[in-house]
Structure 1
Amino acid sequence: MSTPSKTFLFTTWEGGGNIPPVITLARRLRERGHRVRLMSDEASREDAEAAGIAFHPWRNAPNRPDKTPESCPLRDWESASPQEGIGRVLSKIMFGPALEYAQDLAAALDEEPADLVLTSDMLPGPLAACESRGQRVAILSANLCLYPLPGMPAFGPGLPPPRTAEEAALHEQIRAGTLQMLDAHVDGLNRARVALGLKPVASVLDQLAAASRYLLASSRCFDFPIELVPEPIRYIGPLLDEPAWAQPWRSPWPADDARPLIAVGFSTTYQAHEGVLQKVIDAAAELPVRVLVTLGRIDPASLRPAANTAMVPSAPHNAVMEHARLVVTHGGHGTVLRALRHHRPLLVIPHGRDQDENAARVVEHGVGLRLTAACSTVEIREALNRLLNVACFAENARRLGTAISQESQNMDPVAEVEALACAAGVH
């Protein structure tokens, strides 16, 4: 290893799809000979230890003990509106417990210093703790940038880029509303800052200045285009290692079964997907296809599989997508980017979080279709038929997937964070 051995401390929370990219980067750093630790919820311990990463659970901050629906602190599937679901994330994870996250990180650094802290874009508390100590820190996002960017549609509702003056005005209104919603929680952040000996900030966005880099584990080819990516943001490419919990999979169908395979996979964390999954199963039941459903946290007894459907708790997506004709998903960033890496078109049925944003980009690139969670079985069947029979979707998926792969070949996320750890002084 040409780079001297460094110590890295990752901090994140158990939110499902945000964990595998962190584990991927941490594992690659460990394999380069660096000392790597991860602070997260107890629910993330198995993933970390399977990758050989030293694990430390949160002590004072929210600490989800496992991945069952009962332990989820958000329960956003019970929200009456998307805004309420976002509000739960802001109050229960991002800003409400900012001080507790900051205190836990400070204690971990007291026990063992780090050359670089890499913290989740959804945890401003650790950023404040690093700022108060002069600790070198970078933000690591497992997907797209959730904060407003110049020229980029505001994150959340899943809007395409504006094409008219009226649409541009609407985007500005949404952007202002997003900032207002974020800054409604600035008191929680400032509680942490004052306790750490820092001055209060006027906006939660001001806290981002503590980071020397804002790393997006996504693809610029996949994201909406903007003229200039502002500093300190860097796209480092999707980090798509298979998670430790993915079970081996063997096709239950004969090798000579020529029916197209549809891979159906919704969130690995519970979001009450049973109803939509059943509609997908029913929609595909009348088509000459095979359907593989990965259940995640869904109880198989809650679903009625059709004759052409196989259901498994989990499966390695790379192996499945290699044989699939198309992918049906909630729109999690990892699933979408993995499908595109395999040149597979998508049907995306979002259920909140970042999923509408990923779905909007799928539609904008012409690599798939998007339906709402309230869609009917007939609508799903029509969408599946289009994706199976209209060639442009597969062609566009092949084109975009190739571009993403080529882009990733020119990126080295390990070298990026090594350089940050080796940089002289604090950013």
Structure 2
Amino acid sequence: MRVLIAGLANYGHIYPLMPVAVACRDAGHDVIFAIGEELLPLVRSAGFTGHRVAASLEWGWTEAIRRRPELSSAGELAIAPVAAEILAERVMRDLLPVLARERPDVVLHEPYCPGAALAARLAGVPVVSHIQGRSLPARMHDAISGHLDRLWREHGGTADLPDWRAQTFLDFWPPSLQPDPPVVELVDRHPVRPVAWSGRTDRMPGWVPGDRDKPLVYLVFSTVFDLDDAVLDAVLRGVAALDADVLAVVGSRHDRVAPRLPGNVRVERFVAQAQVLPHADLVVCHGGSGVFLGALSAGLPQLVIPSGADQFSNADDLVRVGAGMRMMPGEVTSSGVTEAVAALTGSPAYRQAARAIAREIAAMPAPADLVPVLGELAGAVAVESL
């Protein structure tokens, strides 16, 4: 079986796909990636073939504002549908010739990349979507359905555009975090365990696994929906005031913030999150699906400060199940962060709730268990074509 995996070139969109990619390769199947050039080195360093297709979500937003300058004052959720239109069109244009050359048996894509599903259907290839958030993809599809229908017909689609809800889905949200009622009814949904993944060049700081007499707080925020400098500074001051060791991952702002922090806060640009989480006691983050589910898989309570996309609903769910706290960016003060983290580390109830979710996650099917689902789809289409 040949599997083509398509996604936008953002870490939070590609890392969740990697465990399934590795499981397919370990089972002896061919795996090809089609993503933006920004992350081609990542997939190639992991031993996969990569084709340049589309770009990053950041590019989509920048291009949307270039075409419609009035969007510059809109929030992320207002820009998202326009960016999705632009990205879907570029994905289709770039991916169709790749599909013609590589002739995959199945296409697996992340749901913020609907252009991949359109291109695959036009090429007669079965499609699987890997769910990475609860509600935003449904809102996005509803907002751009007319644009997707136009793309479908411009590229040769004759019958009505297939309903995206009817395709096969892999869903790594544990049972307790599933919305009731569902945000959208899915006909063919398969649970899959979220598994943390790190690239070959990702590193864990050498001091992290050492013995310590203080809790380790892991602080990380989104590379896409980032906190502004003032809010990040308040968060850093808040965790610095704790009697704790702090690993703060701040990306490109490393050189600005690192010299201003006390010795109990060690600052890194990027780390191997999958290796760090087993050593942490608490996570302060934005609530993106990767770190959100990674922390829960490790049974860690969280303080979530959401700033975009599905991070708000993730934070709400965290509070609902009792595994952490939520603080909106406009509510952040350094003293508030200090108090919240102290409460999370001081009360065993939060850790107990997080560990209950960790047990649910551990009981979910492993990525290797979902490889036959892809094989059945590929086989069914092969039989139909005879």
Question: Which TM-score applies when normalising by structure 1?
Answer: 0.79
Q: Is the 8 A contact 1:145 1:216 kept in 2?
A: no
In structure 1, runs of 5+ residues without a counterpart are 1-5, 149-177
Residue aligning to 1:241: 197
TM-aligned CA distance change 1:34 to 1:186, over 3 Å: same
One-letter amino acid of the structure 2 residue matched with residue 394 of structure 1: R
- 1:138 maps to which of 120, 123, 128: 128
Q: Is the 8 A contact 2:174 2:360 kept in 1?
A: no
Q: Does residue 397 of the first structure (1) align with residue 359 of the second (2)? A: no
One-letter amino acid of the structure 2 residue matched with residue 90 of structure 1: P
Question: Which TM-score applies when normalising by structure 2?
Answer: 0.86
Residue aligning to 1:151: none
Q: Does residue 105 of the first structure (1) align with residue 95 of the second (2)? A: yes
One-letter amino acid of the structure 1 residue matched with residue 187 of structure 2: E
Residue aligning to 1:314: 270
Report the CA distance between 1:48 and its aligned residue: 0.8
One-letter amino acid of the structure 1 residue matched with residue 376 of structure 2: A
Q: Report SS of the residue matched to 2:313.
A: helix
TM-aligned CA distance change 1:426 to 1:293, over 3 Å: farther
Residue aligning to 2:61: 74
- 2:283 maps to which of 327, 349, 353: 327
Q: Report SS of the residue matched to 1:264.
A: strand
Task: Work out the CA distance in 2 between the residues paired with 1:410 and 1:48.
Answer: 18
TM-aligned CA distance change 1:183 to 1:145, over 3 Å: closer
Residue aligning to 2:150: 191
Q: Is the 8 A contact 1:143 1:333 kept in 2?
A: yes
Q: Which piece of structure 1 moves more, 412-421 or 397-406?
A: 412-421
Task: Work out the CA distance in 2 between the residues paired with 1:183 and 1:407.
Answer: 30
Report the CA distance between 1:200 and its aligned residue: 8.2
Q: Is the 8 A contact 2:100 2:123 kept in 1?
A: no
Q: Is the 8 A contact 1:220 1:235 kept in 2?
A: no
Residue aligning to 1:15: 10
Q: Does residue 88 of the first structure (1) align with residue 44 of the second (2)? A: no
Task: Work out the CA distance in 2 between the residues paired with 1:145 and 1:384.
Answer: 28
Report the CA distance between 1:98 and its aligned residue: 2.9
TM-aligned CA distance change 1:218 to 1:79, over 3 Å: farther
Q: Which piece of structure 1 moves more, 399-408 or 213-222?
A: 213-222
Report the CA distance between 1:327 and its aligned residue: 0.7
Query: For each residue in 1:202-230, what CA deviation from the matched residue of structure 2 results, as whole angstroms up to 9, or x when unmatched?
Result: xx9x5405x64022233234333448963
Q: Report SS of the residue matched to 1:17.
A: helix
Residue aligning to 1:29: 24
Percent identity for Structure 1 against Structure 2: 24
Q: Which piece of structure 1 moves more, 136-145 or 275-284?
A: 136-145
Task: Work out the CA distance in 2 between the residues paired with 1:117 and 1:256.
Answer: 45
Q: Is the 8 A contact 2:192 2:367 kept in 1?
A: no
TM-aligned CA distance change 1:200 to 1:90, over 3 Å: farther
- 1:379 maps to which of 336, 340, 345: 336
Q: Report SS of the residue matched to 1:327.
A: strand
Task: Work out the CA distance in 1 between the residues paired with 2:49 and 2:109.
Answer: 16
Task: Work out the CA distance in 1 between the residues paired with 2:367 and 2:132.
Answer: 19
Q: Is the 8 A contact 2:225 2:308 kept in 1?
A: no
TM-aligned CA distance change 1:408 to 1:136, over 3 Å: closer
Q: Is the 8 A contact 1:268 1:297 kept in 2?
A: no
Task: Work out the CA distance in 2 between the residues paired with 1:108 and 1:256.
Answer: 50
Report the CA distance between 1:291 and its aligned residue: 1.0
- 1:301 maps to which of 244, 250, 256: 256
Residue aligning to 2:67: none
Q: Does residue 417 of the first structure (1) align with residue 379 of the second (2)? A: no
Residue aligning to 1:280: 235
Task: Work out the CA distance in 2 between the residues paired with 1:44 and 1:15.
Answer: 7
Q: Does residue 262 of the first structure (1) align with residue 253 of the second (2)? A: no
Task: Work out the CA distance in 1 between the residues paired with 2:7 and 2:39.
Answer: 9
One-letter amino acid of the structure 2 residue matched with residue 345 of structure 1: P
Task: Work out the CA distance in 1 between the residues paired with 2:302 and 2:254.
Answer: 24
Report the CA distance between 1:132 and its aligned residue: 2.7
Q: Report SS of the residue matched to 1:46.
A: helix
Query: For each residue in 1:392-419, what CA deviation from the matched residue of structure 2 results, as whole angstroms up to 9, or x when unmatched?
Result: 1011111111121122459822232222
Task: Work out the CA distance in 1 between the residues paired with 2:55 and 2:186.
Answer: 34
One-letter amino acid of the structure 1 residue matched with residue 378 of structure 2: A
Report the CA distance between 1:272 and its aligned residue: 4.2
Task: Work out the CA distance in 2 between the residues paired with 1:328 and 1:41.
Answer: 29
TM-aligned CA distance change 1:115 to 1:124, over 3 Å: same
Q: Is the 8 A contact 1:7 1:35 kept in 2?
A: yes
TM-aligned CA distance change 1:220 to 1:420, over 3 Å: farther
Superposed, which structure 2 residues align to 1:103-182 within 5 Å?
103-144=93-134, 146-148=136-138, 178=139, 182=141
Task: Work out the CA distance in 1 between the residues paired with 2:299 and 2:199.
Answer: 21
Report the CA distance between 1:391 and its aligned residue: 1.6
TM-aligned CA distance change 1:269 to 1:97, over 3 Å: closer
Report the CA distance between 1:191 and its aligned residue: 2.3
In structure 2, runs of 5+ residues without a counterpart are 65-70
- 1:45 maps to which of 32, 40, 46: 40
Root mean square deviation of aligned Cα: 3.0
